[in-house]
Amino acid sequence: MKAITIRGIDATVSEKLKQTAKKEGKSINQLVLDLIRQNVGMQKKKKFTRQYDDLDHLFGKWSGAEFEKIKSLIENQRKIDPELWQ
């Protein structure tokens, strides 16, 4: 396997590569290899696997009390009313 050195990567690009690799759970090397393969036509882009991260800032923000309140509201909505199903 051949090794290639890429020179001239500025700090902004470097930081973006680090963030993207971390977000995707990959090493920077693997991310760069995937990007190269994708952009030279050696790897097909997935069509229907769009990932959303617009609600990530909310993840893990509920307190224990808030979670219990929401959990009880959901459980109440899941109860079956026997009169409606006769």
Cα 37 to chain centroid distance, Å, stands at 21
CA distance readout (Å), 66 to 58, 73, 77, 79: 13, 11, 17, 21
Range of the domain at 61: 11-45+54-81
Q: pLDDT digits over 9-61, tens only?
A: 999 999 999 999 999 999 999 999 999 998 898 877 677 777 788 888 877 78
> Domain for residue 1, yes or no?
no
> Domain for residue 77, yes or no?
yes
Provide the H-helix boundaries in the chain: 11-24, 28-39, 64-77
Supply the pTM of this predicted model: 0.50
Backbone angles phi and psi of 21, in degrees to 5: -60, -45
> Domain for residue 2, yes or no?
no
- Spatial neighbors of 24 by CB under 8 A, at least 6 apart, are 31
